[in-house]
């Protein structure tokens, strides 16, 4: 088993909250729609940091991915390693991204992508206009593995990669007296 701690000097902000069944409902579509709504609410307050959510039976861990991106590390590999933790029932990536479909640029969008250990996935996004508001008359666009659609480029494959490469992530709490709130990240989920 390969443990992948962040390289020295990289501090991750990880928060945990109870897994509220209203906020994180059962069912692929209801969970996906709830997370896509979280992205839109967050975008209305400014561009939120990209976040990974690890959904466990009784709580959700929220990881701010900015330190990984700023260090030039592979977010894909990091999320794959995070899925190797015990009890992860699903993982979600919430972010504002430049989206494309079939190699064609679509524009900037608020995106929620969820993957389960059986490699099922759900992807929903709202295209955003110049003022970072949803494009009018454009509903949530949803793509799902269950519909036989190809997985969007650059998303998912995290659970299978963790199994194949035997990846696992071990996080340790480090309190810093200079930090105002060492255990409270600034995640996409407000």
* Contact assessment for residue 161 and residue 126, using Cβ atoms and an 8 Å cutoff: no
Does 189 fall in a domain? no
Residue 20's Cβ-count burial label (10 Å; 0-12, 13-18, 19+) is exposed
CA-to-CA separations, 9 to 65, 164, 176, in angstroms, rounded: 15, 28, 13
Say what the pLDDT of residue 177 is: 52
Say what the pLDDT of residue 190 is: 32
Weakly modelled stretches of the chain, pLDDT under 50 = 1-3, 181-190
Does 182 fall in a domain? no
Spell out a b/e string for 166-176, using b for 16 or more CB atoms within 10 Å of the CB, else e. Answer: ebbbeeeeeee
For the chain, how many structural domains are there in total?
A: 1
Does 43 fall in a domain? yes
Does 93 fall in a domain? yes
Does 121 fall in a domain? yes
**Structural domain that includes position 125:** 2-168
Does 109 fall in a domain? yes
Does 179 fall in a domain? no
Distance in Å from the first CA to the final CA of the chain: 35
**CA atoms of 124 and 141, how far apart (whole Å):** 5
Say what the pLDDT of residue 113 is: 97
Say what the pLDDT of residue 1 is: 38
Does 178 fall in a domain? no
């Amino acid at each position: 088993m390969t443990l992948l701690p962040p390289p020295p000097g990289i501090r991750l902000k990880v928060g945990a909250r109870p897994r509220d069944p209203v906020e994180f409902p059962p069912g692929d579509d209801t969970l996906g729609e709830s997370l896509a709504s979280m992205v839109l609410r967050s975008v209305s307050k400014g561009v939120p940091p990209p976040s990974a959510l690890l959904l466990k039976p009784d709580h959700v861990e929220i990881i701010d991915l900015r330190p990984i991106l700023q260090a030039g590390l592979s977010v894909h590999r990091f999320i794959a390693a995070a899925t190797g933790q015990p009890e992860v029932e699903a993982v979600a990536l919430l972010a504002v991204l430049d989206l494309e479909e079939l190699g064609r640029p679509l524009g900037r969008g608020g995106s929620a992508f969820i993957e389960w250990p059986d490699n099922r996935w759900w992807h929903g996004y709202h295209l955003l206009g110049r003022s970072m508001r949803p494009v009018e008359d454009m509903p949530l666009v949803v793509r799902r593995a269950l519909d036989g659609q190809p997985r969007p480029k650059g998303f998912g494959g995290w659970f299978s990669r963790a199994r194949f490469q035997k990846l696992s992530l071990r996080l340790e709490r480090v309190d810093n007296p200079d930090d105002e709130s060492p255990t409270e990240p600034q995640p996409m989920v407000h």
